[in-house]
Amino acid sequence: MTSSTPGKPTHIPYRDSKLTRILQDALGGCSQTALLCCCSPSPSNSSESLSTLRFGARAKHVKASVHVSCKEDLDNTKDATVYTYVDESRERILAKLRERMTADDVQLLEKLFVLEGIFFDPNSIDEIEATYEDVTSRTISSLHKAVEELSTGVEKMKRENVALKASLKVSEEFYQHQLERRSFCFIL
């Protein structure tokens, strides 16, 4: 953010709407922000739902750098407190959603939140690492197979090249022999 006065900034580089102007302190980098966009399936609210989704898409692209203003000796206790707070916040949000929505809808939202990075699933680290190792090993084995196929092809081409050179040599010798024979016939 840039500011010409020492107080509140006058220019917000990511300002796309009045709502981001209102939320500028929350989006400033000294806090962690989550945004929940609620839409209605009713056709009468389609314009508001569309506007909400567009705002959510714009807000998703806001990149804020986090500034920590605590001492290093408090980091360990702060980290534990933050993780506990995040877990509690997650459970509160999911409990409210469970009250108002069906179980299938809540599960879909949980998956969406984890995919979008809104919630962090601790079990996903193990899954990601296992998937990464699996993909890496498959990629390495396919590359080894490709190298073997290419080296086999190179060896085959070398053998063909040697055979063609030998055939060329035999053909040249035969040609020379025919020339000598013709020249011998012309002499007689």
Q: What b/e sequence results for 153-163 when a residue is b if at least 16 CB atoms lie within 10 Å of its CB, and e otherwise?
A: eeeeeeeeeee
- How many structural domains is the chain composed of? 3
| CATH number for the domain harbouring residue 1 | 1.20.58.980
Co-location of 28 and 79 in the same domain: no
Co-location of 89 and 116 in the same domain: yes
Co-location of 128 and 80 in the same domain: no
Co-location of 52 and 86 in the same domain: no
Co-location of 132 and 176 in the same domain: yes
Angle 123-112-47 from CA coordinates, rounded to 5°: 165
Chain mean position to CA 103? 29
Residues with Cβ within 8 Å of 59's Cβ and at least 6 positions away in sequence, in order, are: 20, 35
Co-location of 60 and 87 in the same domain: no
pLDDT of residue 105: 72
Co-location of 146 and 97 in the same domain: no
Co-location of 80 and 106 in the same domain: yes
Which domain does 73 fall in, by range?
A: 69-121
Angle 154-143-140 from CA coordinates, rounded to 5°: 150
Alpha-carbon distance of 48 to 160, in angstroms, equals 72
Q: Tell me the two tokens of residue 42.
A: 């009713």
| pLDDT by residue, tens only, the chain of 188 residues | 444 445 555 555 555 666 666 666 666 556 667 777 888 888 888 888 888 888 877 777 766 655 555 555 445 555 555 556 666 777 777 677 667 767 777 677 677 766 666 555 556 666 767 777 888 888 899 999 999 999 999 999 999 999 999 999 999 999 998 888 887 776 66
Co-location of 164 and 103 in the same domain: no
In three-state secondary structure terms, 11 is strand
Alpha-carbon distance of 97 to 91, in angstroms, equals 10
Co-location of 87 and 97 in the same domain: yes
Co-location of 61 and 3 in the same domain: yes
